[in-house]
Structure 1
Amino acid sequence: MAVLWDRDVASTGYVDKMIWCAVIALERCSDEEIWGKLEWKEPVLEVPKSCRIIRALAATL
């Protein structure tokens, strides 16, 4: 699973923000539990503060 979020960039005087991405491996442990393990997280793109993440897409394999 990939998760995206943004954070303001202090070094730019908060006029930019950084888009971050985390990849989480999911594992079904039982019929009622799903566990996740963080594989990595990194900033992936610096954008103007006016940019927004407005859509999400989910896929099942």
Structure 2
Amino acid sequence: MNEVRRHSVYFVDQMEAIGPLYDMIQKGEFVASYGARASGKSTRVDQAMFELERRVYLLKE
């Protein structure tokens, strides 16, 4: 049996990935995240929340 190994490493700029979401939140707009299961919706929200907290925004849970 032949085994194929791929060694790929990539980097995703978090601000580029969450940019539109982050901008809408900063403007006070309503946002909704939808998409396929396991497509990164929660990850993007978590990243946006982290960035907002880092910039000293107060978040309600």
In the superposition, the TM-score normalised over structure 1's length comes to 0.24
Structure (1/2) with the larger helix percentage: 2
The answer to which structure has the higher strand fraction is 1
Q: TM-score, normalised by structure 2?
A: 0.24
Structure with higher Rg: it is: 2
- Between the two structures, name the one with larger relative contact order (CA 8 Å, sep ≥ 6): 1
